Every structure is written in C-alpha cells, then in structure tokens.
Amino acid sequence: MKEKQFAEMVFVLAKKQGFDDCEVLVSNHREFEVVVSKGKIENYTDASSKRVTLKAVKDKRSSFATTEILDETSARFLVESAYENFMITDTLDEDDIWAERPAKEPFEYEDAFERLSVREKIDLAKTMEEKCLSYDKRIQNVIMSGYGHQRSEIWLFNTKGLELSESFGYGAAFVYLVASDGKKPKRGFRAMYGSHPNEVNVEKVALEASSEAISQLGAQSVKSGKYKVLLRRDVFAQLFFAFSSIFSAEAVQKGLSPLKGKLHQKIAVESLNLIEDPFFEKLPIKRSFDNEGVPTVRKSFIDHGVLTTFFHSIKSARKDNVKPTGNVFSQRCVPLNVILPEGSLGYEDLIKSVGEGLLVIAFDGLHSGVRPVSGEFSLGANGYRIAGGRIVEPVEQFTVSGNFLDVLQKIELIGSDCEIVSANWFGPSVVVSELDVAGS
Amino acid sequence: MLEISLIEKIIDYGVSKGADFVEIFVEDRFDTRITLIDGRIDSASSERDFGLGLRLFKDDQQVYAYTNDPTEKQLLTMLDRLIEVLQIKSAEPKTVNLMNLDVKNSHTIILNPLEVSKMEKAKIMKLAYEGAKNYSDLISQVVVRYWDYDQKVFIANSEGTMANDRRIKTRLMVTAVASKDGEQESGFYGPGASMGLEFFNFHDPKDIGTEAARIADKMVKADYAPAGKMPVVIANEFGGVIFHEACGHALEATSVAKGASVFANKLGQKVAADCVTAVDDGTIPNAWGSSNIDDEGIPTQRNVLIENGVLKSYLVDRFHAKKMNTKPNGCGRRESYKYIPTSRMSNTFIMPGKYLPEEIISATDYGLYAKRMGGGSVHPATGEFNFAVMEAYLIEKGRIVKPVRGATLIGKGIDVINNIDMVGNDLARGQGMCGSISGSIPADVGQPTIRVKELIVGGRKR
C-alpha cells in the first residue's frame, strides 16, 4: 500500500474516532554494513524496513502510536491505540499539528554508497584491516573493521494539508583495534563519516586508529589533582552530546535542566559560539523540516557566550509563547548538526599552550557518568601527559570530573583543527583551564 | 507467523545453494510506553513491530538481512543476495525436516499487560509519583516511566529446529529530582520482571517512587566524593553491574573467539579470588533477563562462569561456537529482528558468601560505600571499565560517616575479581538494559555486598 493512500485511510478512521487533527509520518530505512575480521565477513547486514508513526490531537492534547506494517489492520491499531493513549493523557501542555510549508526545498539524498558494489564495500573493509595490521607488528587484533551506509526517506502527511517528503543518509568507515607490547593491551578507534564515498578515506581511518593505539602503549596512570586539559575535538563533541538534552525547552520547562532561568544570559566564555545548522554543507545529513513538519533553521544557540534559544517542539513553543525551532527528531528535541566555529590556534599550538596538563583522547561512560539534571560529570579517560608544552607520555586509568556549565566558562582556547568527528558535529579541540582528575 | 511450507522452502533453498546454516527469525511485538511528569500523564505511545531476519553461515563467515515484508518474493531476493556475498562455488540440492521444539513455559503470566487498560497503568504511575513527591520537601520534580511489551518470536533453522517463545515484560522506572540551594541531583529506581501487571502485587509502586526520591534527597545534601585509590564496598542488588561490566562482557564469545578478551584461553585457570563464584542463568522464573529459549532457538540454561575463582565457562552463541569449536549454551540474544544475535548475558550474579553486610563495613578502615550503582561500560579487549555511582557514602573507621556524590569507579575487570576480599550473604538482583552489538536487551545483574580492596574513585579534590 502506498504511503499517501495509507495516511488517508488513517485520517478517515481518526476523524470517525473523534480526533480533531492528525499526522502520519512514514519512514523507509535502508541499511548496509559489513564488518570483517581476519579477512573474513564477521557481520554483514543488508536491510530495509518501514515505520509509521501517528500523532493524533484532540482537545489540544497529543497521543502517539507506531507500526511497521501498512495495512488496514495497522491503520485501525494506530487510531485505536492513539485514542486509548489520549484518554489517559492529562497534561496541561497544549500540542498541535503544523500547517505551514517550509520555504526551503526538501533535500534529496543521492546515495552514492549504494552505487558501489557489495564486493567493493567488503574489499574496503578488508583493505582497512590489512592497513592496520601492516602498520606495526604490535597491532595485535583488529576487532572490527567496518564499512556501512544508511539512507532514510520520510513522508509526512497531516489533516492540515501538509504533504512533505525528504531523504537523508550517510556512509561511514570505522576501525576498532588493540595494540600490545606484551604487557598492557591498548585500544585504538577511529570512524569517518561522509555523504559520498570520496569523503570516507579508509586508509586514513586505519592509519589514525593504528597510530593512536601504538602511541598509548606503556601508558601509566596520573596523580589525582587539578589539571589544565586539552579536550580533543571528538572528545569535546561527545561531551556536548552527552549534555545536549539540557538545551531542550521541554527539559527546561519541566525542571530537568540546569539551564532553567538562563535564557539570554552569559553561560559560556565570550569566545564560544555554537551553531545548529541543518543545512551545513560539510556534514552529511541535511533536513528542511523536522519530524513535526516544522521548517528547520540555522541558529546560533550560544552566541559569544550568551544562550540565545532553547530547542523547541510545537508543544514547548506554545508553552513559552515562541515559535518551534524545527528540532524534533525521533520524538525528542535535539540539535541536528552542531558547528563550533574555528579559533586561532592549530592542534600543535594548543598542546604548546597547555604547557603542563593533560590531553584527553577518549572518554568512557558517557551514557552513565553524566547527570543532565545537574550538569555534573565524572568520566573514565585516556590520553597523554603534556609537559613543557609537548606530549611526554601516554596516560590511562584516570577520571575527569566537573560540571558541563563550568567547562563552558573555563574554555581558554578554541583550536582551528576543525573536522567532522561524528555524523552531526563539525568543530575543533578546546583547552579547558582546570578540571578535577582522579588517578593513582 | 509464516506458512511452514514457505519456511521450509527458504531453508531448503539456502542449504541447497551451499550455506552451512540457514536461520529465519520472525518477531511480532507490542510495546506500551507511558510517561508521567509532575503528576500528570505527559505522553503515551503504543507500538507494533513486525519483521523477519534471515541469517546464513558459510565456513566462518556470517551474513544477515532483515525486512518487514514477509513475502516469498522478498525472502528469496534477500537470500539470493546473501548467497552471492558468500561466493559459494558449488552445492547440492538438500531438504531439511523441520521439527517443533517442545518449549516449556517457565514464566507464567497472570495479568497480560495487553489485556489491562491503560487507565490502570496510569493509576499505578500516579501511586509511584505520590511515593516520590511526598518523600521530602526537597523533591522538585518526578518523572515516572511505565513500559510493557509482549514479544512473540519464531525461529527455524537448517538444523531442523522450529521454536516459538513469548516474552512478556513489565517495568516501572522513577526518576526523582531534588533541589537545594540552587543545586539539583537525581535519583533513579526501576525494577522490572518477566511478568504482567501482577508485578505490582510484589512491588508497591509507591515504594518504587520513594526509593528514587530517597536517593535524590540524600545526594543533593552530599559533598563531592573523594578522588583516588581506595577500598570500595559495593552493596547488593544493582551493585552486580560491576561483575556484569567488568567481567561478564569479557566472557562473551563475541570477544573470546577473536582473542579480544582478557579471559581468552583461560578456561580451567584461576582468574579470580577464591571467594568469587559467578553465574549467568536465563532460566530463573519471571526474572527480567529470562526467556524460555534464546534468540537462536536454544533453551536457556544456567551457566556457571566462575567457580571459586576458577574460569568454568564462556557465554557462547551459535556463530562463535563454530569458530571456537564448541557448543552454544543458550545465550544468543538480540534486541529485535533488526540485529544479528550474539552471545549476551541474561541474569548474571555473584553467589553469596559468608559475611553479614555490616561486618564488611565494620572491617573497612577507610573507603567508599557504593550503595546504588548507576550504569557502566567496558572495553573487553583491555578490560577497562567505568561505572557511575548513584548513591555513595564515605566509610571511616568501620562506620558510614557521610553521603558523597559524583563518584565514578574505574579499573580493569581481572584486577577487580582478584581484589574482591569479602563477599556478603545478602544476594539480590536488580534490573537494567544492557547495550552491545546486538542491541539493547533486558538483563538482571546481582550480587551480595562485596568489598574490593582497591579501586580508583573518580571524585573531586576539595
């Protein structure tokens, strides 16, 4: 059954059930991934799936239901479940269905990864593993050498006459390996993302993961204390995303974010700008509307240290009497693409500027060691000790603790070493003047 | 869920094309999720997932495809693509006789969540809210999440096995936020079981809310935890997450078969202190991590992993069993048809020892008492783990002296199980979601109160 036909069937049933308005979001997802180990296919996934979510509104209250089959039984399931969900929902927050078309044309993602043959993709993963193993004989085990891509196509139909569709996706190569000098094994990980195979350099991934693991051999713990810390670009991005929910207006309104009462206030150093840009050329995913049909928009949410906006859904925007910001993806209010504009110093100069301190290249426990409600974090880390303005030795088994909002205030320097470090972050490394470190 | 004749056709086609093993996994699942914030039901959603996965082995290679279009045409197209990837040169026509596996249900359900109105579920959530909100004046916000699901799975493979299982689970999760002097801290408690709504006859929803609020209230008044190496006493129940992360993941064949585990090639060797015996048991009636069969159609079982410090067994799935030349032991699990199954834990716990928990604390001169653990993670290849401690206290001269917050524990798995020097007699289990390459799955962790001689506590120097 075609998407539109299905949506129309749902609309009729929803009207009959007594809903005022409703919206159907259909997503077709295509996914490919191959992981090799010792030259053999360890995991290989080739898949496609469909998902339909109904958002139904009655008396300004919304309720939801989801299914993976497009038939009449599912249409009934969606409407009946949504109605039962509506009956128990008693929030005072009002929701709605969006009506305006976005001004920007929808994006069409041309999946160039799909044009590579399956064999070519398997060979890329194998090449990456070979490059790692030949980099140094201390590379003991390439645990995963993978190449994959995904593409989603979405259709949004609602009873206010909105009909939109868009496609988006990306490809990635990743390596996870272990180096050993016979004493302590050390790990290396690297991933690279892009919207075209030309942007995903498997040799570079192999080289960087391998050199990182080798350079960590012989790492020692560090003494507990306060340190100046250089957070490498990928590590700073990870820390931000662990706390990205604090920028959601719904979290703020419900007292679940430490940013409550801080709108239009200075929450970071003057030099810090953070931009949410759903159209950013260098990042692979681009969206002209969010999952509520609201147009996406480029915005500087931290502008010279000042918090200028939260991320709003239709529901949270109504409550604060502002416009929704086009940030609802997977029923959560999150930034799509985040850009930290470059500062003045290159990576090597950042290391020099630290003088005495630590360089962090990996955080562990980002899902558990952060408290979005308070901004507090305490995370396992690996990296290098910096002395006399240069890297002197690898260090391991230490924790870095602090408060995310303090970190934003303690950023001393922003580098110029911008890179795409995940599918949705482009930015450089930063120097933080002081963080608590626990070690031996 | 699918015609047997079609399943037979697909499996016969796969083996005739030269695959060593062909498996079909079909899933039909209903989820209900409801969120209550500030005393009101904020959102409710219902979900139905239906899909099918097709898995093939050839020599030591594994390939997988999934779809939610269960037609013959789609399945044969998927199969052809997988066969092509495996580059099989020649094969003979073969026929497989499928036999129904007699699966005994050990997890009786009394009140099927699908047959209970959502209004009843909302009432339960409001009780939990009251329990939390009324705990103290410091509680500024309460979020209650209710979740149940009914997952039916069907598995058939070229070894001739056909099996069905139905997993019904219910869970209530409460997050309470306490505010004091402009600072906020949260507490979480979220028990669950392979049960229907009768779960709440065993767990008073009000008590679940109270427990979350108690933690938040205690922690917002606490100083920061000290930093550095020290003895750590870890309380029972969810404290078992330390064994789950620090050692359990490294005992999964996924890591062991590749030699990417600190426990590889150590069967029969002493890997832990004598007082450590650890078990993974997927058969415990109605436990959160239990099922009758695993997601590869093998009956779940009790696997003794470590006995008195000696490594007895790994957790082995079908694919890695082939690689390791051993037998799978009922631990092949996956979140859904969208994942390839692999070796995973179910209900994993350290067996009880001889000490009273109070004896363990009074025998500790200085250290940290980790009463409630948060989540954690590990790199099995290096053994490096980390955990967040949700509720902690400082121990001085054998007594708990004050609450401390923001602690993280880090270390290496093999060091921890060698450094356990006291094991209590108060075994209990807690519930969580375990994330790994085959997705996020329900798992119980458990232990009695234990003491680890030395761990790095990530706190703050003040």
| B chain contacts of residue A380, beta-carbon cutoff 8 Å | 384-386, 408, 410, 458
Q: CA–CA distance from A85 to each of A64, A254, B127 (Å)?
A: 7, 21, 19
Rounded Cα distance between B143 and A372, Å, is 14
Q: Quote the pLDDT of residue A377.
A: 94
Distance between A256 CA and the closest CA of chain B, angstroms: 8
- CATH fold of B113-150+168-221 reads Double Stranded RNA Binding Domain (3.30.160)
For the residues of A17-58, what is the DSSP string, one character each? HT-SEEEEEEEEEEEEEEEEETTEEEEEEEEEEEEEEEEEEE
Q: At residue A305, what is the residue type? A: G
Task: Spell out which residues of chain A touch residue B38, defining contact as CB-CB under 8 Å.
Answer: 254
A contacts of B78 (beta carbons < 8 Å): 46
Q: At what angle do helices B72-86 and A118-135 cross, to 10 degrees?
A: 40
Residue listed under structure tokens 């940030």:
A327
B182-217: pLDDT as tens digits: 999 999 999 999 999 999 999 999 999 999 999 999
Nearest CA in chain A to B39: A91
Q: Cβ-count burial of A389 within 10 angstroms (0-12 exposed, 13-18 middle, 19+ buried)?
A: middle
Query: Do the first three CATH levels of B4-32+43-100 and B113-150+168-221 match, i.e. the same topology?
Result: no
| Angle at CA of residue A272, ends A336 and B388, nearest 5° | 65
> Between B255, B262, B386, which is nearest A369 by CB?
B386
Option in A48, A49, A364 nearest B384 (CB): A364
Inter-chain residue contact B140 with A369, CB threshold 8 Å: no
Q: Mutate which of B2, B384, B440 to disrupt the A interface (most A C-beta within 10 Å)?
A: B384
How does pLDDT run along chain A (440 residues), one tens digit per residue?
589 999 999 999 999 999 999 999 999 999 999 999 999 999 999 999 999 999 999 999 999 999 999 999 999 999 999 999 999 999 999 999 999 998 899 999 999 999 999 999 999 999 999 999 999 999 999 999 999 999 999 999 999 999 999 999 999 999 999 999 988 899 999 999 999 999 999 999 999 999 999 999 999 989 999 999 999 999 999 999 999 999 999 999 999 999 999 999 999 999 999 999 999 999 999 999 999 999 999 999 999 999 999 999 999 999 999 999 999 997 789 999 999 999 999 999 999 999 999 999 999 999 889 999 999 999 999 999 999 999 999 999 999 999 999 999 999 999 999 999 999 999 999 999 999 999 98
Return the exposure string of A206-236: e unless at least 16 CB atoms fall within 10 Å of the residue's CB, then b: bbbbbbbbbbbbebeebebeebbbbbbbbbb
Q: Do A226 and B457 count as a contact with CB atoms less than 8 A apart? A: no
Interface contact B439, partner A, CB < 8 A: no
pLDDT of residue B462: 46
Supply the DSSP symbol for B113. Answer: G
- Among all residues of chain A, which has the CA nearest to that of B258? A143
Q: What does residue B127 show for φ and ψ, rounded to 5 degrees? A: -65, -40
Q: Cβ-count burial of B106 within 10 angstroms (0-12 exposed, 13-18 middle, 19+ buried)?
A: middle
Instruction: Note which residues in 44-103 of chain B have CB less than 8 A from chain A.
Output: 44-51, 59-68, 78, 81-82, 84-86
- Three-state SS at B322: helix
Is 0.90 exceeded by the ipTM?
yes
Give the CA distances from residue A228 to residues A407, A413, B270, in Å, rounded to whole numbers and listed in that order. 11, 11, 42
Q: A380–B386: do the CB atoms touch at under 8 Å?
A: yes
- In chain A, CATH 3.30.2290.10 sits at 3-215
Q: How far is B143 from chain A (nearest CA, A)?
A: 9
H or E stretch including A436?
strand A430-438
The answer to whether A36 and A126 have CB atoms below 8 angstroms apart is yes
Q: Which fold has domain B4-32+43-100?
A: 3.30.720
Q: The CATH number of A3-215 is which of 3.30.2290.10, 3.40.1350.10, 3.30.990.10, 3.40.50.2300?
A: 3.30.2290.10
CB–CB of A243/A237 below 8 Å?
Answer: no
Three-class SS state of B415: helix
Q: Calculate the average pLDDT of chain B.
A: 96
Closest to A256 (Cα-Cα) out of A174, A374, A110, A150 = A374
Smallest CA–CA distance, residue B118 to chain A, in Å, is: 7
Neighbours of B48 (CB within 10 A): 20
The C-alpha atoms of residue A352 and residue A357 are separated, in whole angstroms, by 10
Tell me: pLDDT of B90 over 90.
Answer: no
| Residue closest to A67 by CA, chosen among A85, A49, A84, A83 | A49
Q: How far is A202 from chain B (nearest CA, A)?
A: 21
Neighboring chain A residues of B181 at a CB cutoff of 8 Å: none
Give the residue extent of every domain in chain B: 4-32+43-100, 113-150+168-221, 228-458
Task: Say if the Cβ atoms of B410 and A397 lie within 8 Å.
Answer: yes
CB pairs under 8 A between A and B: 246
- Rounded to two decimals, what is the model's pTM? 0.95
Cβ neighbors of A383 (< 8 A, separation 6 or more) are A232, A358, A359, A360, A361, A362, A394, A395
According to DSSP, residue A221 is labeled -
Tens digit of each residue's pLDDT (9 = 90 or more) over B34-48:
999 999 999 999 999
